[in-house]
Structure 1
Amino acid sequence: MSASQSDRALHRLHDVELAALAAAGGRREFGELVRRHGSAVRALLRRMGADAASADDLAQDAFMQAFEAIAEFRGEGTFAGWVKRIAARLYLKRRQKEARFVLDGQDHEPDQPIGFADAAGRIDLDGALKLLSPAERLCVSLCYGAGLSHAEVAETLNTPLGTVKSHVRRGLDKLRERLAPDGGQAGSRAHG
């Protein structure tokens, strides 16, 4: 079988099949998993607050850890969710190590205004996420970006479940307000 035929065959396999083959030593199969999910892992890390270079480094580290532990992946959830959880934990460890990890719910003010929609009206979710407090951004990203449940986020962050739920609720409320078609102006007029 030629390399291109082999690549086409890999494209047809499900993630669980690729993971099983990778666990048996298949580097090409694991490479296909990286190709499929690398962008999503980097995007999650960016939404959590990592800059582009850090997101690339952390994604690479996450896939290296996933490769080393691939035999532990049982296919009970998605491979993408599994590797995103690894990446999220690596990000949290790095933040803690850098002593910049904050989960106290303090308001975060951006250094400069961020536009929420471009001229074509597309939503700038990443810009809107930057306006959330670090705790809100982290909890929303883990729940909706990595697909973790509130309980899993609480366990990962070693934070009470109620606190995680509060951060997610406040974060989603802020995102809804900021991403509203009128830029949140109607809500501020109604409440102000």
Structure 2
Amino acid sequence: MAQSRAVTGLHDVELAALAAAGDRAAFGELVRRHGSAVRGLLRRMGAQPSTADDIAQDAFLTAFERIAEFRGEGTFAAWVKRIAARLYVRKWRKDSRMTDEVEQDDEGHGGEVSTVSRIDLDEAMKSLSEQERLCVSLCYGAGLSHAEAAETIGAPLGTVKSHVKRGLDKLRLRLAPAEGAGRDAERQGHV
């Protein structure tokens, strides 16, 4: 019990060093701290909840096996999110090869606008095409550069940049307050 309390107060870099030395409790604390963020990223990338759970588990297993490679130059959360994002991309590419209908299906759903006045980011992400969602999630959720995202999904850099730009433009439109609401707030002196 005292050992589990001892790891909760440590920084991620210290926990990673202990995990590299074989301390499973230290790695368990890293999983506890960052598991939900990794699953959240995967869901925003388009994974169903059960798939997100499976890929997150695989990502943490990979991280455990490669923990000695974590040098603490960035955050542990960003490092494990990159692993998870790459695993998801591999699955996505494999699934895309199995069916040609994925792109056509997503293009038909990409522009729908919900009538609900309050839309959160997860709902807005669902309005993007699969490629836009993937590229935006890799670049902004997993912290990859455009070039790293292009390499990860095997697409030209310009294509990734286009998907990110279109995706961000769609998100801005979806998440922006209604045009009249902004003017009303300005008139009342609230903005």
RMSD of aligned residue pairs (Cα, Å): 2.8
User: Quick one: distance in 2 between partners of 1:116 and 1:167?
Assistant: 25
The equivalent of 1:156 in structure 2 is 152
3-state DSSP of counterpart to 2:109: coil
User: Quick one: distance in 2 between partners of 1:181 and 1:109?
Assistant: 25
User: Quick one: distance in 2 between partners of 1:81 and 1:24?
Assistant: 21
User: Quick one: distance in 1 between partners of 2:78 and 2:38?
Assistant: 9
Deviations 1:46-94 (A, max 9, x none): 0010001000011001101110111111111111111111111111111
Q: Indicate the percent of aligned positions where both proteins have the same amino acid.
A: 66
- Give, in angstroms, the shift of residue 103 of structure 1: 9.4
User: Quick one: distance in 2 between partners of 1:158 and 1:55?
Assistant: 22
- Give, in angstroms, the shift of residue 36 of structure 1: 0.5
Letter in 2 for 1:133: S
User: Quick one: distance in 2 between partners of 1:146 and 1:124?
Assistant: 19
Letter in 2 for 1:150: H
The equivalent of 1:45 in structure 2 is 42
Q: 2:90 aligns with which of 93, 103, 110?
A: 93
1:173 aligns with 2:172: no
Of 69-78 and 35-44, the range deviating more from structure 2: 69-78
Letter in 2 for 1:30: F
TM-score relative to the length of structure 1:
0.83
Mapping 1:1-192, distance limit 5 Å = 3=1, 5-98=2-95, 99=97, 100=99, 108-110=107-109, 115=114, 121=118, 123-182=119-178
Closer, same or farther in 2 for the Cα pair 1:102/1:92, shift >3 Å? Answer: farther
User: Quick one: distance in 2 between partners of 1:172 and 1:26?
Assistant: 41
- Give, in angstroms, the shift of residue 7 of structure 1: 2.7
- Give, in angstroms, the shift of residue 133 of structure 1: 1.0
User: Quick one: distance in 1 between partners of 2:180 and 2:157?
Assistant: 29
TM-score relative to the length of structure 2:
0.83
User: Quick one: distance in 2 between partners of 1:182 and 1:32?
Assistant: 43
User: Quick one: distance in 1 between partners of 2:30 and 2:48?
Assistant: 23
Closer, same or farther in 2 for the Cα pair 1:134/1:144, shift >3 Å? Answer: same
Equivalent residue pairs, number: 179
- Give, in angstroms, the shift of residue 14 of structure 1: 1.0
Letter in 2 for 1:130: K
- Give, in angstroms, the shift of residue 184 of structure 1: 11
